[in-house]
Amino acid sequence: MDKSNKSGGWINGFIGVIIFSGSLPATRVAVHYLSPVFLTVARATIAGLLAAAVLLIFKEKRPTRRQLIPLGVVAVGVVVGFPLLSALALRYVTSAHSIVFVGLLPLVTAGFGVLRGGERPRPVFWLFSVLGSLLVVGYAVWQGLSAAPMGDALMLGAIVLCGLGYAEGARLSRTLGGWQVISWALVLALPVMLVVTLVCWPVSVGDVGMGAWVGLGYVSLFSMFIGFIFWYRGLAQGGVAAVGQIQLLQPFFGLGLAASLLHEKVSVVMLVITVGVILCVAGARRWGR
């Protein structure tokens, strides 16, 4: 793999993770006023309309028949599956709980990268990957977790579907293009998402707080569309398993946003763990293929 192309993959992946870091905080704000189902279909509808416009402007060729099934997998994983299940889970679990599962996402993504993309990272790569995940999970456990079986099950399902969608999208990006993959996946899901959005429209829009609309706007434009442009391109350039490790940093970026926006305290332990995770990401970058 060309070194410049690989470096570009890490840069694009990092930008994508920064954008994704605001997803869970924005979702938590939005679900206080909006139902998880409406939030999921509305964000997909808004992003789908934007994607359709961009595809028309650039006159992109339609996907082939062979590409429709992989696009469907992407749509099920990242357009519907992760947004819906995580929104439902955030009604049961705390932010510490969500950190546990987001910390496992790089491992799941790497696993699907091996199964679906034929990647074969070196054994030492898995060592750094597992260590980084354990640091994130250990930090969350140290923070204290409450028993919420339903929330746990929903988040686990969300992470599995998300990892599958990431790996499938990255594989498809090599032939279809990064932003084209998420755009066509959104357009493929748009007819159903639009109908469900209209059916689930809030009875009293005036009762929905401004923060919920801002959260919906963020997850629609950034989490559902713009972030994926960088993320899928990064995964395709640098490899699903290797670049996917950058997502180990997402929980800490998310906590950093919560600290700056909500004035929550950032502990010394969090900073130490963050440094440890950065070192694991660096190791995975060095040894990943």
Residues comprising the chain, all counted: 289
Averaged pLDDT, 113-125: 77
Residue whose C-alpha is closest to residue 246's, from 234, 237, 255: 234
Q: How confident is the model at residue 46, as a pLDDT? A: 97
Mean pLDDT of the chain: 85
Ordered alpha helix ranges (H), 34-81: 36-57, 65-74
Would the pLDDT of 202 be above 60?
A: yes
Q: How confident is the model at residue 54, as a pLDDT? A: 95
Averaged pLDDT, 245-249: 82
Distance CA 156, CA 160 (A): 6
Q: How confident is the model at residue 85, as a pLDDT? A: 96
Would the pLDDT of 272 be above 90?
A: no
Q: How confident is the model at residue 99, as a pLDDT? A: 65
Tens-place pLDDT, residues 178-187: 899 999 999 9
Averaged pLDDT, 6-12: 87
Q: How confident is the model at residue 103, as a pLDDT? A: 73
Is the pTM value of this prediction over 0.75?
yes
Cβ contact 30:207 at 8 Å = no
Q: How confident is the model at residue 264, as a pLDDT? A: 56
Q: How confident is the model at residue 268, as a pLDDT? A: 76
Averaged pLDDT, 125-152: 76
Distance CA 31, CA 208 (A): 10
Cβ contact 227:16 at 8 Å = yes
The radius of gyration of the chain from alpha carbons, rounded to an integer in Å, stands at 18
Would the pLDDT of 265 be above 70?
A: no
| Angle value at C-alpha 126, between 19 and 226, nearest 5 degrees | 15
Would the pLDDT of 262 be above 60?
A: no
On the CB side of 139, CA atoms within 13 Å amount to 31
Averaged pLDDT, 207-212: 90
Tens-place pLDDT, residues 76-105: 999 999 999 999 988 887 665 676 677 778
Q: How confident is the model at residue 59, as a pLDDT? A: 93
- Separation of CA 252 from chain center: 14
The pLDDT-based confidence of 111 (bands split at 50, 70, 90) is confident
Tens-place pLDDT, residues 13-54: 999 999 998 888 888 889 889 999 999 999 999 999 999 999
Residue 104, C-beta contacts closer than 8 angstroms, at least 6 positions apart: 133, 136, 137, 159
